[in-house]
Structures are given as structure tokens and as C-alpha cells.
Chain A
């Protein structure tokens, strides 16, 4: 995009584009994307921050033309590598010559690849999904702290990291296991398990998977919707008064379940988005630290006690 009328600014302009699924039906689907984008806007890390969606507007097809920048960092707000990150988003962005093998990923290790967008010629650093970044472990822990209102949550608690799981994409489960394994090694929860909606081990028998009396359940979903508000609470046997209306903690058999709702609504997730862009070469100086501070200080209300 030329800037014929520019007189100022010879510095390289960098933009962040956060790509999410969005929804034709659910108005809340885009909310976490907008919230994290706003957090990053406030940090001043990028000249431009813009949201784009598969199902909403601006579409992934048209977002690059409205982002005025020399370098664009595209971060998919998706939980795992798979169909969307490997096929749909690169195709819709028109990344010229896209080849998924440039990520050299084992299913959870995609970092970034640099391409030119065929329609407008801008340089695009296309990042791996937010959900597989190492810093997501911190976001999950922060989610556990928020839902228990206990900054030291860990000892005496079990932690269930819950994914959708699908037989069609092995990476879907890999991402969940990856974070569960790292948290098990690095934190002091009594037990950490990866559980799934659509494959085993299933979240249905939550109490049977844990010896702990208290279990924090964090679903790895970007937005709250049918799966996180209705399916998973019902699968676990939490008493509910309608979508999203469940007790925190709720009791299933003799286990107290601290169900957090979608991890994607955790303010600290903005940090993982920034980390993705930083890994791809974005110059964002101390923005990561500032976002970490601001999102950790924020009061978070999770569920309805």
C-alpha cells in the first residue's frame, strides 16, 4: 500500500493481525479476540492491530488490504495446528507459495514462516497458533488462579486441561497433551491430566480420573460457546441452571470441580499472542512485560459462584 501523501514516518511500520474463527450465529465468539486486540493496542507494541475472521468481517481474504504496514505479523487465535492454520488461513491470506513444511512442525512446534501476500505484496510473518505456544502453560495456570481466587493454587489440587479432541486431526490432542505434560513437570499440582470431549480419556468421568478432592478444569477453547458453556459442564455432571450457569466450585460425586470456562477469555492470553509475534521478529520491546503486568493485575470473574 503506497503512502503518496505521507510526509512523516520513515520508520518501518509493523502491524499485528489476529485471525480467529468467529461465528455467523454466536455474537460472543469474537469477544475474546477483540479483548486481546485491545490489550495489545493499549500496549502500543504495534502501529496497527486488527482482528480478522473466517466467519465475520473483515474476512481473512480482505484484512491485509486494510492494514497499512510494511511488515505484518499474523497470529492465528486457534488452539492447535490443523486444517485452519495449515490450509484455510494461508490460502485466504493468499500467501504466495505457502507450504506447511516450512513450519517444520512436529504438530505443536510451528513458530512462523515469512511469505508475500499475492494480492497486495506485503510481507507477512505467518505464526503458529497461539494455543501451542509454550506461554499457554502460564495462561492455563493463570486461569486456574483466577477461578480459584488463589494465587498459590497447586498443592492439594488436580488440574484437568480439556480439549475438543477429534479423530480427524491428531494435532488437536497433541496440543492438549503438550501443555498438560509441561505443567505436570514445572508446577506443583498434585495431578495434571489431559481430557477430551470427543476422544478418550473423556471428560465425562472427571472424578474417576483424579484422586484430589479439588480439581481445576480448564478447557482449551478460544471463546465461550456451546462446548464450554453447555457440553463440558453437562458431560462432567455439573449441576447447571442453563448455559454458563454452573456453580464454582461445583461438586461431582465427592470432587469439587473448579470449572474455569474457555481459556481464551483469560486476559493473559494477550501475552501469548505477543510472544508469537515476537518470536517471528516483531520489535515490541517491553510490551510483553507490560501486558503481563496489566493482565495479571486485572480482576477476573470466572463463572458464577
Chain B
């Protein structure tokens, strides 16, 4: 530990500011509040602050960030943003340092986010121990009021001087380069710092009535209590303030921002929040978390349960920003959890400490947000609303996908949309998708011509487990556009027909004119090695229809199978699943013989942006293909 007088510390800060090699950020006054901002002189620095309006995460994961700029003139070129400038961030409280540690884990899981880590690596964090604690702060209860890691330097105010703990080599070098008259701390000062840290732990004006270690299990017992969630969220404005100010929230949206030439522009990501109304809404209009209580509940579960199960920590550091920013005062986690605990205790429910989850965070390379350029080589209108597109990557490579995976398709200037792959990997050189005209991107895709360019990212998602399905009897159940993803597997099976047992396809849609892949369906009828049944909800007078009339489930009694020796593979509109699964279960098909492919709002494709989450599951990464036995207990799934 080192010691620096306050005068010498001010000189140190001014010396840093004077050196153009650094951007120097510090805590400054903003009205009666405080905010991190660029420092012009050491005099502006307010290390006696209670809490800043926004956490310092805005320097690593900004409110609005350019992922790349594009130019369509003369083909297509994309440019990544310039590398981050080295930055010193001065005055970070311990809870915000721990929050950054949480963000690090989230941004490196599966695929590492280069935008975040580029800025993280080029920055130096100078922490400061809390001098004044905001009245909403409960960081001591979360074990986040003090910290022994995650900083380059850590300051403790000792009256006329700062005690400085050096946490990294970078920090030590910064100190020796820019600070004068640094001395080694005497035993007395080290003792004083220890005493200050012990005092901080007792500074909170908030109080948990129980150990926060119980939170994950407590939440688990409260999920189904809709009355509890409705009561607590009655006043929720769905304004998103609680999540937007949170130091560990990381959900984002991705959009295109073209300039007026319409030929160039940028793809940006902006902060988003799971409390906001359209967060889980897909282009078809289906909103998977449409009500305020379910979104309100999701926030607490995300922090206290889902991230705990995934990473082993409760993703709340107790900064109290959510509490202080909530106008109806319903976002304070301390109040909510105390209520929850009290109601359980009153009902005699015992809550245990959750078992520590097995955490193994793997990083497989970086996320690349810049799509690969591809060309539409075939286009065919299948119905009024569905278009078949065959696409070839411009670099000539195969997409290399598995059946059941999806790609993010870009129309530059309009945006990106997740679309299932319809062709089997056995088809080389190009791939196929079936696009329903729903949102901006899909509408635009319908308007493109053969030879037009699109962007492709992916393939994403898990896809079907081909090795597992090999040799099995398969029953495909497709409703409407659900045939599109299933076709990638179905055609794969046909291309390798001898590797599979009995194969049936049940396909239903609203009316004959909505039938997709009509020619292929007709061809199936004459194939002896495939059983094919189709149904329409209704058939207008005068139209030819030889299949059944009724919903998809009318087809299930028409096929005979040994339930223990069949695997059902289902995809269709959200409403379809429970009926089809219900009928299959009535036929004694075991749960783990049912495989579903689910639709959600998939924006990033790599388990980061948060939109496709169903409870703890990221559909884009853990799915979209699920074994029913694994998700039947996941309430938001079906």
C-alpha cells in the first residue's frame, strides 16, 4: 500500500489529464447528483460522491454503439469502429467494480464480445472506497461494499492523504509515471484502511431480513404466485428505469441507421430493457412477455436466479440505483425480497440456500457482427406471404449448417432478422430459406430480386441432433410456416433415407393456397418410403383439396406408431404445441421422445442481447431445438 498526499494526488490527476495518451474520466457533480464524465481538472473530481446516475459500464458498453459502418456504393464494404483510446476511469466504487466483473463473464460466455473487451482492455480502473453511502445502497448485504480485486488502483481517503492499493502492474506503472512523492504506507495507515473498510460494511440504511444467499431458492418458490407479482407490479410504469440504470444489465437492441444517401450507414446497438413492452415481441405480433407482472418478475428472476444458475453469482451488487430511480417505489430489491421472505415464513415454507451451480464458462472465439455477403440466386413466390429464396455466399463457401439452425439475414439499411434454414446440409454450394412477409426485413426481402445482395450471419443455434436421430422412426408435425425449419431435417432424412426408420410427415395449414413447398408435398404422396398426411383448417368452395379438413391434430389419429419407438419432431405457431403434445402424450409417447423447435425474438444470435430468453434459456444458443422433457418444466417455453 502507498500513500499520496491530497495535493500530490491532485497533481497526479492533472498530469494524467495533461497527457493526450489518455482519456481521463472521473466522477463529477451533476445538479445535486453525480455522474462519470471527462475530467478537465482534478478540481472537478468528487470522490466523496454517494452514487453516480449511471454506472461506469457506459464506457465499455455505451448507450449507443456502432458495430460497423457500411457502404453499398460499388458493392459492399463494412468497417469496424476504430480501436478504443486508452482511458483512465477515476473514482469507481467497489460495487461497480464487481458489476464490471459480472459483465465480463456475461460478455465472454460462448462468444466473446470484442467491442466490450477492446474498451475493457484499454482502460485503467482507479477505484475509491465508499465515503458516503446512498440511502438506497445495500451493497454490504450483497458482499459488494468493498473489493479486493478488479481494480488497477484503489484509493481510501485518510483525511489529508489517500492510501492507494495497487491491484495491477498497469496501476503501479501509472502511479510511478505520473505521481510524485509516493511513499510506502506505515502500519498505522494500513490499519486505518482496514478500519474504514469495516465501517463501510455497516453504513447501509437498507436491511435484509434474511440472508441474500436464499434469494435463488426463494424466487424458485415464488414463480407461480401470480398474485404476488401482480400486487408488486401494479404501479409499474414499464418505463425501464430500473434496468437502464443497472450496472449489470446488458440487454441490447440492434438497428440500422442509414444516412440520407440511403447507400451508407451504420449498424448500431443500443441499450434495451426487459421491462419494456416490446422486448419479447416478434414480427408476427406475438409478444412472449406481454404483461407488466411477467416482465417485472423476469427482471428479478434474471438477477436472482437465471444468472445465478448460469454463472454462480446473484447479478445484483446492491448499488440501489434501481430503487432510487423507480418513481412508484416498487423496484427496491430489498423490499421485494423481504416481502417474499415474510410471506413464505408466514406460510411456514422453508427456504434453503441454493446449491452452488456447476459453472463452466467457455469462450469459443469472438462474435462477428459484420455479416458475410451473399447473393440471391433463386426466388420463388410460394404463397401471397411466403417467398422461397436460394442464397449463395459470395466467397463460395458452404454455410456448413445443421438442420434446425437459423441465420441472421441482413438487408443493409433496414436491419437483420433471424430466419430458419430450410435446406439440408446435404445441399452444397447454396442454402434455402422460406420468408414470411411480416416485419421490415422480411418485407424488404420479398422485394429483392435475383442477383441482389444480402448479409448473412450464422448459422446459429443447436440444430437437430442427427447422430441421435439416426436409425429412429420419425414423426414430423409441421404447422404453417413450421414446415420451413423442419424441411431442413426432413430433406436430410430423405437424402439419407436408409439411415432412418419409418418416416411420417403431418402437415397442416389454414387453407390450400397457403400450402408451402407444394410440389415437394405432391411428390411425397407417391413415395412408398414416407407416410404423408396433410390438413387445412378450411377449404374454400371450388378449390381442390384431397387431404383432411381440420386443425393439425386431426392428423394424429390417422397414423399408427409404437409410442416407445418413435420420435416426434414438432414446429409450428406458438398456439399449436400444447395441443399436439397433448395428443401425442395421450398416445403414450414419452416426453423425451418429443422434440420441438421454438420461435423467439433472436437479435444477436449468440446469447447476449436477452430478447429470446425463455426463463433461464437462450433460444438462440440453447435452442431453437429442444427435447420436450427438458423444457416441459420451463413455464415460458410453451
Do A and B originate from a single complex? Answer: no
Interface residues of A (CB under 8 A from B): none
